[in-house]
Every structure is written in structure tokens, then in C-alpha cells.
Structure 1
Amino acid sequence: MNRRDFIKTSALVSVAVALPLAGCTPAVKSERLNVDTMITHLESLKALPALEFDGPWPAYATFTHLAQSIEYAMVGFPEHKSDSFKTWVGGPAFWVFKQAGSMSHDTAEAIPGAPELDIEKTDPVAVNQSIDRLIVALRDFDEVTETKSHFAYGELAHEDYMLAQLMHINDHLDLLVAE
């Protein structure tokens, strides 16, 4: 790694460390850092007449994105950040998220190389199908023993990987206008 890349990476690590800690509150969704509790919560969302997110994507696209993240953890992500990024930015960022018990990330950033999200689907049936897809992915991931390297964090133990997925879901669910 050359000097310029090192300086840029160091700055990114500093931001990755500071941002999640700045946003920590006592109201962290720690109760949903359990697979069964998260699935129960997701099931309850299907009963709501409409789900509106105060974020970049409507509900269908958001739940599809979350399901993709878990599915790629089992089959492999289409694109990866560099090894130096994983070592100097991604890995340390995950460590900070883990210590905080929550994640703060750019919720408008799609998974690199993933199919484009359909932001036109907004009907309740499609939204519930995307929630079901996420639930199936969570259940499947809970049962697997072999995972693939995360595109930004690198290699994670299964328990840490599940925690990363649950924090990722929570970060997006924080954008729900009303639950």
C-alpha cells in the first residue's frame, strides 16, 4: 500500500469508528440481535397495511437488498473490496459496529455487483414476498456451517456474520416511518 492509499484508508477508518459511536443511543435495537426475535418482528411487519421507509428505497427494494446480503453470504458476493480495504477499513468498521451493538452505514449503497433493485414494486403483496424472502434467507443462514467472505469485512466467524446481518437489517429498519 502506498502512502496516499494509507492516508486515505486511515481517514476512512477514523470516520468508520466515529460515526457509529456518535449515533449510539440507549434505544439501540439490541432485542432484534437474535434471529428468532428478528423473524418474529419481520412477520409482524407483514400485517401492517403499508410500510414506508424514510430512505433511498421503498419497502420491496429494501427487503430485497437485505435478503441479497444474506444470500450472498452463503453463495459468495459478486464483487469484493480490495484485501487492503478489508484489512484497514472493513474489518475495523465491523469491530466498531460489534462493540456498539449497532451499525451505521450508507443505506443507499447497493451491494457491489448485485442486480439493480426494483424501486417500482410497491404493492403490498410484493412487499410481503420480499419480507418472506428475507425470512427464508435468515433461516437458511442460521443453519449453514460454511459461509463466504464478506465483500467489505472479509472472513467472519458464523456468529459474527449473523450479528453483522442482524445489525444491517436493524439499520435499515430504523428508516421505517412507522412500525
Structure 2
Amino acid sequence: MYRYFSIRTLYIVKRRKLLKAGLSASGLLLAGGTTGFYLGRVEDRSILSLDVLSGKLQQLKGETLNSSGDWNPVKVFLHCAKSIEFSMIGFPVHRSSAFKNVVGTSAFSTFASLGKMHHALDEPIPGEDSLRLTDSKVTSTAAAINILLDRINAFTSYQGELKEHFAFGKLSKDEYELAHVMHVYNHLAEIVT
């Protein structure tokens, strides 16, 4: 009887966890659909390349830039550069595998289909602030943009294995390019001339 009880209890516990996970995933997909509606869709997908993004960043170097958000333009550009660098050297902190496999892949899929990303623009990459960043002494916006452009060029010519994204999980080079472009464009929404 004890053995039957423990197997039955285990079955019930696993069933409840599965149901909760299913409900959470359903809610996420519904929220993803709502988020998709909120974000809209990029009509001209030709802008979703690192080449086009690099051209836009070159144009911004000659402008006086401000930020409508919590981070100044220097911090924004350095944060975006660090994200690109982490895709090649590894992110310092990762979400759980369960998070990446359910939430992360669903979020990336939604963003990729829309051609847009939406995330908290004042939230550092997990572990980013705990690192001693060599770029932290940069104070000029043009210098920060140059660092971002340098990381974009390094990524474009990178031939090694890309590291797993801290939230989205394993991405191909094309998927990473799209993620980087959408990430920078999301941050550029707060940069004003």
C-alpha cells in the first residue's frame, strides 16, 4: 500500500506541475500574442541587418544625442556593445534551462516574427554590472558608438561557436544577428537628437 500511495502521490504531483506549466505557457502565448499586437510588425524587414544598423549608427555619431530614458546614450551604446560581445565570449549569468526552453524561445519567436523587440530598457544584462568593464571610462557618445560598431564588426567576422543567449538559449548566427539588431533598435527608441 505504501508503494502504491507514493507512486500515486508522485503521479498527482507531476500532473499538477504539468498542468501549471501548461497554464503558464498558455498565458505566455496569449501575452505574446497581446505583446505582438502592442508592438506592431516591422513592414520593411530590410532594416533588420547589421549593415543597415551600422549605417544608422554612423549617422548618429555627428548628432547631439540625449535619452528619454533612465540611461544616457553612452550607457545605452556600451550596453548594446556588451550584449554583442557576450554572444561571442559567453554571458556571465543565465536564466534557467526551463526558462530558456519555454519563455525564452517563445519570446524570441514572437520578436523575430514581428521584427521588433520590447524589453525593459533600464535593465542590465544579468551579471553585466558586476563585471569590470574596460569601456566604463568612455564618456563621449561618439566613442561609445565606435565601440558598438567595433563589436558589430567583430560579430560579423566571427567564425567561432556562438555562446548561448542568457534568456533565448541557443541561437544561430542569423538569429543572433536579428536579436542584436532588434535589441539596438529597441534601445534607439529612447535616443533623441
- TM-score (norm. length: structure 2): 0.79
Partner of 1:72: 86
- Alignment length (residue pairs): 173
Give matches, 1:49-128, under 5 Å.
50-115=64-129, 126-128=140-142
1:23 aligns with 2:72: no
Q: Which residue of the other structure, out of 24, 48, 51, is the alignment partner of 1:33?
A: 48
C-alpha separation between the residues in 2 aligned to 1:30 and 1:56?
29
Question: Which stretches in structure 2 are left out of the alignment for 5+ residues?
Answer: 1-13
CA distance in 1 between counterparts of 2:19 and 2:96 reads 15
Q: Contact 1:80–1:151 (CA<8 Å) still a contact in 2?
A: yes
Identity of aligned residues (%): 32
Q: Shift of the alpha carbon at 1:102? A: 1.0
Please give the alpha-carbon distance, in whole angstroms, between the structure 1 residues aligned to 2:58 and 2:73.
14
Structure (1/2) with the larger helix percentage? 2
Q: Which has the larger radius of gyration?
A: 2
| 8 Å contact kept, 2:105–2:168 | yes
Report if the CA contact (8 A) 2:41-2:114 is conserved.
no
What are structure 1's unaligned runs of at least 5 residues?
none
TM-score of the pair, normalised by structure 1: 0.85
> Is the CA contact 2:41–2:116 (under 8 Å) kept in the aligned structure 1?
no
Q: Distance in 1 between matches of 2:187 and 2:177?
A: 16
RMSD: 2.6
Residue 142 (1) aligns with residue 156 (2): yes
**Residue of structure 1 in register with 2:9 after alignment:** none
Displacement of 1:143 in angstroms is: 1.3
Aligned-partner Cα distance in 2 for 1:153–1:10: 18
Q: 1:122 to 1:150 in 2, by over 3 A?
A: closer
Structure 1 equivalent of residue 184 of structure 2: 169
Q: Deviations over 1:68-97 (max 9, x none)?
A: 100000000000000000011011100011
- The question of whether the paired residues in 2 share the 8 Å contact of 1:17 and 1:93 is answered with no
Paired amino acid for 1:84: A
